[in-house]
């Protein structure tokens, strides 16, 4: 069914506003996704502060053209949705879609996205999706800092045991 011109303008305006505020955008390809699964996806993404919107490719391209991102728009085959975030966790759209896609076994896939003002293809967005959340990265950093200190304590303890 065709969409009226007013409805198209409204969708382009919504996407343009979303892209202006977005810190990261992921293009999502979905096939054979049931309404129940789509609702579950929206719920999981919204818990991470990610918005999800399905639109026609031509309307998405028009909204992207207004933002003038660097590079070329990745190939977007099939049905397309857009996931974006305004928050500090810039990997959230890609990681949320990637994790849900692993559960759905082929019904959902990352097709590309926008990260730090440039278009990225599916391969690069998948790499970004596998980056752990900030809280986990901080824990890993603390562990790296703690490791030499812990090694020193163990060595000093061994010396103490030999002297006793």
Could you tell me if 24 and 113 are in contact, meaning their C-beta atoms sit under 8 angstroms apart? yes
Q: For the purposes of burial, counting CB atoms within 10 Å of the CB of 115, is it exposed (0-12), middle (13-18) or buried (19 or more)?
A: buried
Could you tell me if 85 and 22 are in contact, meaning their C-beta atoms sit under 8 angstroms apart? yes
**Euclidean distance between CA atoms 78 and 131, whole angstroms:** 27
| Stated pTM of the model | 0.79
3-state secondary structure of 1: coil
**Token pair in block for residue 115:** 């990260």
- Interval 73-117: pLDDT, tens: 888 888 899 999 987 788 889 999 999 988 888 788 899 999 888
What is the model's pLDDT at position 26? Answer: 93
3-state secondary structure of 69: coil
């Amino acid at each position: 069914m065709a969409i009226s011109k007013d409805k198209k303008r409204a969708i382009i305006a919504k996407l343009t506003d979303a892209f202006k505020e977005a810190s990261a955008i992921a293009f999502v390809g979905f096939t054979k996704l049931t309404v129940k699964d789509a609702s579950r996806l929206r719920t999981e993404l919204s818990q991470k502060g990610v918005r999800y919107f399905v639109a026609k490719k031509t309307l998405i391209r028009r909204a992207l053209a207004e933002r003038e991102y660097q590079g070329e728009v990745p190939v977007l085959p099939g049905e397309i949705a857009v996931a974006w975030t305004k928050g500090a966790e810039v990997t959230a759209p890609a990681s949320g879609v990637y994790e849900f896609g692993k559960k759905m076994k082929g019904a959902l896939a990352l097709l590309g996205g926008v990260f730090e003002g440039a278009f990225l293809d599916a391969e690069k967005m998948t790499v970004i999706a596998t980056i752990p959340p900030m809280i986990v990265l901080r824990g890993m950093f603390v562990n790296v800092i703690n490791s030499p200190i812990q090694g020193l304590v163990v060595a000093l303890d061994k010396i103490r045991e030999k002297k006793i």
